[in-house]
């Protein structure tokens, strides 16, 4: 499948990868990530990150970061052994409150300008879709997954993503 035909996956970090109790078997990995302002505990399933890498390496999906962690994304990639993946948008670390708008704009760009299938995993912006109902109607046919922020993406979610990619 050519790159332009594979779905684009907009991937968030907190509540999607970083979860208090990952919904996967085995022991979670734990590390710390730092912004310019704070230190954050990161807990994730190595099985989840391995699964994401496998889909990307097989050419079934093009992963793009869509997270407030964009200014520090290389750190996330290093500690979680993910990527490197491109970012869906640029984000000023002093204006991360604009991330929800940037995420929705990135999703619309994938669907409307790139004419690509979209996978979007986010525990905050997608649930707020009632604030922008017309914009979310334009994403019809996309795979929008809202994981439980305590458990993050689950094996069932990954099965849905893999099925959507094939």
pLDDT of 17-38, one tens digit each? 999 999 999 999 999 999 988 9
Give CA–CA dist 157/162, Å, rounded: 9
CATH class of 3-165: alpha beta
Q: What is the pLDDT of residues 78-112, one digit of tens each?
A: 999 999 999 999 988 878 888 899 999 999 999 99
Q: pLDDT at residue 64 above 90?
A: yes
3-class state of residue 34 by DSSP: strand
135 membership: H or E segment, kind and range? helix 133-137
In our burial notation (b when 16+ CB lie closer than 10 A, e otherwise), range 118-129 reads bbbbbbbbbeee
Residue 4 confidence (pLDDT): 66
Give CA–CA dist 150/62, Å, rounded: 26
Q: For the chain, give every domain's residue range.
A: 3-165
Say if pTM beats, i.e. exceeds, 0.85.
yes
Sign of the four-CA dihedral 92, 135, 131, 162: negative
Give CA–CA dist 130/48, Å, rounded: 29
């Amino acid at each position: 499948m050519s790159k332009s035909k594979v779905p684009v996956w907009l991937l968030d970090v907190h509540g999607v990868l970083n979860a208090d109790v990952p919904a996967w078997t085995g022991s979670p990995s734990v590390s710390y990530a730092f912004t310019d302002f704070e230190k954050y505990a990161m807990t994730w399933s190595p099985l989840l990150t391995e699964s994401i890498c496998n889909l990307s390496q097989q050419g079934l999906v093009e992963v793009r970061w869509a997270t407030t962690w964009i200014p520090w994304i290389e750190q996330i990639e290093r500690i979680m052994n993910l990527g490197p993946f491109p970012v869906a948008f640029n984000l000023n670390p002093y204006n991360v409150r604009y991330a929800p708008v940037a995420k929705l704009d990135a999703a619309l760009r994938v669907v409307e300008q790139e004419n690509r299938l979209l996978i979007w995993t986010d525990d905050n912006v997608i649930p707020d879709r009632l604030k922008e109902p017309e914009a979310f109607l334009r994403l019809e046919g996309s795979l929008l997954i809202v994981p439980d922020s305590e458990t993050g993406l689950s094996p069932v979610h990954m099965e849905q993503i893999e099925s959507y990619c094939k």
